[in-house]
Amino acid sequence: AQSVSQHNHHVILSEAASLELGCNYSYGGTVNLFWYVQYPGQHLQLLLKYFSGDPLVKGIKGFEAEFIKSKFSFNLRKPSVQWSDTAEYFCAVNPNDYKLSFGAGTTVTVRA
Amino acid sequence: KAGVTQTPRYLIKTRGQQVTLSCSPISGHRSVSWYQQTPGQGLQFLFEYFSETQRNKGNFPGRFSGRQFSNSRSEMNVSTLELGDSALYLCASSPGGGADTQYFGPGTRLTVL
C-alpha cells in the first residue's frame, strides 16, 4: 500500500543541537513533497516543499530538506535548533491526485 | 491576504446528531480539501472540491459528505455522529488543487459525547 513513514515518533534535544527527521514514501512516479509544522496551539504551516529541480530545498526558519529519489526519502534538517522549534512536524506527499498523504508526525521537544 | 477560516472553532454534539462545518478559503483559491486529525489515526484525507465538483474522496463512510459553493466556500457534513468522529477537522485551500501547495485553517474541534 502507498504510505508515508516518519521514523521518529518523539525527538528530544537541547538547544543548539542539530535536528534530522526522516521521511520515506512508497509512491511510484512523480510526487510532490512537503514538510508542515504545527506549533502548540497553532495551525499547520508549510515549512518547505519540493516539486522539481535542486533536490536540496530551503524553507523558513532555517530548515532544509533533501530529496533522494533512489531512496524515496525527503529528510528534514536544521543545523541548530531553538526552543521555539518545539512542535510537531509532518511529512506529506502529493502524488498529483488532489490530496496530501501525511506521515504520522514527529513531536520535537527542544530543551532550553 | 486573509488565511483560511473555519467556523465554528469548537463544537460539542451527542451521538446520533449531525453537524455542519464551514470553511472559507484564501481569496482566489478554488480548491478546498478537508482532513480529519486524531491522535490515533493522524491526518487523513476526507475529500477535495474544485469549482463545486468533488475530485477525490478518502476512505470514509458515506456519513461524511461535503459541498462547495460558487464562491469556493465549502461545507462538510457528518450525519449520525459516532464517538469516534471526535477529532480536529482541518480545511485547506490551494489555487488549483493537484500538486499546488495547500494552506491550512485552524480547524474545528468536534467532540461527540
What's the rounded mean pLDDT across residues A71-88? Answer: 97
pLDDT digits (tens, 9 = 90+) for A27-66: 878 889 999 999 998 999 999 999 989 999 999 999 999 9
Identify which of B35, B56, B105 has the shortest CB distance to residue A98: B56
| Average pLDDT score, chain B | 94
Task: Give me the pLDDT at residue B96, please.
Answer: 84
Using the beta-carbon criterion (under 8 Å), do A43 and B107 form an inter-chain contact?
yes
Q: Is A60 helix (H, G, I), strand (E, B) or coil?
A: helix
Residues of chain A that touch chain B, judged by Cβ-Cβ distance less than 8 Å: 32, 34, 36, 42-46, 49, 51, 90, 92, 94, 96-105
Backbone angles phi and psi of A51, in degrees to 5: -115, -45
Among candidate residues B99, B31, B25, B83, the one with its CA nearest the CA of residue A101: B99
Please name the residues in contact with B107: beta carbons below 8 A apart, sequence gap of 6 or more: A43, B6, B9, B37, B88, B89, B90, B91
Task: Give me the pLDDT at residue B34, please.
Answer: 97
| Chain pair A-B, CB pairs under 8 angstroms | 52
Residue A98 has pLDDT above 80, yes or no: no
Among candidate residues B29, B31, B28, B34, the one with its CA nearest the CA of residue B6: B34
Residue B1 has pLDDT above 80, yes or no: no
Q: Distance between CA atoms of A65 and A47, rounded to whole angstroms?
A: 10
Please name the residues in contact with A57: beta carbons below 8 A apart, sequence gap of 6 or more: A48, A49, A50, A64, A65, A66, A67
Q: Distance between CA atoms of B105 and A45, rounded to whole angstroms?
A: 9
Residue B33 has pLDDT above 80, yes or no: yes
Q: Distance between CA atoms of A102 and B45, rounded to whole angstroms?
A: 9
Instruction: Give contacts of A37 with chain B, Cβ < 8 Å.
Output: none
Task: Give me the pLDDT at residue B100, please.
Answer: 83
Residue B53 has pLDDT above 80, yes or no: yes
β-bridge partners, A81:
none
Q: Distance between CA atoms of A49 and A74, rounded to whole angstroms?
A: 10
What's the rounded mean pLDDT across residues B42-67? Answer: 94
What's the rounded mean pLDDT across residues B75-84? Answer: 97
Are the C-beta atoms of B106 and B91 separated by less than 8 Å?
A: no
Q: Distance between CA atoms of B29 and B90, rounded to whole angstroms?
A: 16
